[in-house]
Structure formats: structure tokens, C-alpha cells
Amino acid sequence: MADISFLESVSLFSELQDSDLKKIGNVLAPKTIIKNSIVLIEDEAGSTMFIIKKGSVKITRITEDGREVILSILNEGDFFGEMSILDDAPRSANAVTLEDSILLVIHKKDFFQMLHDYPQITINLLKELAHRLRRGDSQIKSLSLQDAISKVASTLLRIADDSGTIFKGQVTISKLPPQQDLANMAGTSRETISRAIGTLTKLGYLKKEGGNLLILDYDKFLSDFS
């Protein structure tokens, strides 16, 4: 059974009562998965979706020439795998754990029962899908029009928006993906990522502090690179 306090933080279940969350928690099956494990495979049939209770997952596709393209990186409270449940089509992407993770598994029958019993979940699901479409459109535009440094900056902004912590205008990214994953997100190379972060640091936009990456003035960074 999932903790009610955790379920309250999941966008799908926002605005539900504790009694409802308790019922939902009873049908969520926790599954522990080690780092670098494949959770979903593109083009396979799917009858389950997942909520990340702990850890992180990258959503990827493989190009015809074998390159990995990272569509998004999901963290605690995010969900994935819902598309195959909704349209009965094969999985549209791969999902791979970036660290040891705990996922909550929802089977198709249980999910449709939730949508029937709690209309607010349907509304929240539509909001999240619309948000992903807008973000995808923005990502395509940035990758096609921007130079290398701007592509890297836009990628860092996406990560900051998804998992960064803001305090007095400064954003701390504590779970920065490896450089190869950043390259796959930005549509560039590891060497370009390293050079771009170095350049942005020299220009005063970024600062490395231990294992964290800091965006020193988020509003200026957003204004200059969005």
C-alpha cells in the first residue's frame, strides 16, 4: 500500500480526499528496480503504467542509426506508461531507471476503474498530457533553431523546471544527469555539453558546487535562453 502523504504529491491524485487516496493506495503494487534496468521497451504491448515513488527514469527512443534520444527524465511523483493503457497501441518509447528506484505499478483494469470512480483523475491526466505536448513542441523548436550553447541551456532549463529547487532566484539541480544523457537530451555530443557548461560557467550563469549545478539567476537564464 502506498503512503497517503506520497499520493498527495502525485499530480494525478491531487484534490482527492484521504479516504479516496487510501483506496487507491491499496491497488498500487510497489516494485523495486535496480539502476540501468529497462522498465518499458518501445513497440511492445503494454497493460500497466507506473508512478515513481523513489528514484528517476529516463524516457528514450532509438534512432534508425542506433543513437539514443532522451525525451524526458522523470522523478519522484511522475508517472509513465499510460499511453498504451489508453489507446491499446504498443509502447511509444523505452523507459530505463537512472538509479535504484521504487515504482508503483497500476494495471489497466484498476486504472480505468479509478477514472470511473474519480473524475478528478481524468481531469488531472488531461492537464498533464497537455503539458507534455506543449513541452514537446517547445523542445522540438529549440533543438531545430538554437545553437549548441542555447540547446544545452534549454536542456538545463527543462531539468531545472522538472527537478530543480529554487531559493531566492537561484536554482539548484542536485540530480544532474551524466554528460552522455545530457547530450542525448540536447541532440549534441558529450564534448559539446562539457564545453557549453564551461562557457556558461565562465559567463556567470552557472556554478558547480559539490555534486550540484547551480543556475545563479534563474530569471536571467530563462530570459536569455528560452
CB 204 within 8 A of CB 216: yes
Q: So where are the chain's domains?
A: 4-140, 147-225
Q: What is the topology classification, in CATH, of domain 4-140?
A: Jelly Rolls (2.60.120)
Residues whose CB falls within 8 Å of the CB of residue 111, separated by 6 or more in sequence, listed in order = 49, 82, 85
Q: Determine the pLDDT at residue 142.
A: 60
Residues whose CB falls within 8 Å of the CB of residue 39, separated by 6 or more in sequence, listed in order = 33, 50, 57, 81, 95, 96, 97, 103
Q: Determine the pLDDT at residue 2.
A: 65
pLDDT tens per residue, range 181-196: 998 888 888 899 999 9
Residues whose CB falls within 8 Å of the CB of residue 29, separated by 6 or more in sequence, listed in order = 104, 105
pLDDT tens per residue, range 94-134: 999 999 999 999 999 999 999 999 999 999 999 999 988 88
Written out in words, the top-level CATH class of the domain with range 147-225 is mainly alpha
Residues whose CB falls within 8 Å of the CB of residue 209, separated by 6 or more in sequence, listed in order = 172
When pLDDT is cut at 50, 70 and 90, the band that residue 150 belongs to is: confident
| Residue in 77, 41, 85, 82 with CA at minimum distance from that of residue 56 | 77
Please spell the DSSP secondary structure of 96-141, one letter per residue: EESSSEEEEEEEHHHHHHHHHH-HHHHHHHHHHHHHHHHHHHHHHH
Q: How many angstroms separate the CA atoms of 141 and 163, rounded?
A: 22
pLDDT tens per residue, range 23-51: 999 999 999 999 999 999 999 988 999 99
Asked if the model's pLDDT at residue 145 lies above 60, the reply is no
Predicted TM-score (pTM) of this structure: 0.76
Terminal CA-to-CA distance of the chain, rounded, Å?
A: 41
Inter-helix orientation angle 190-202/179-186, to 10°: 90
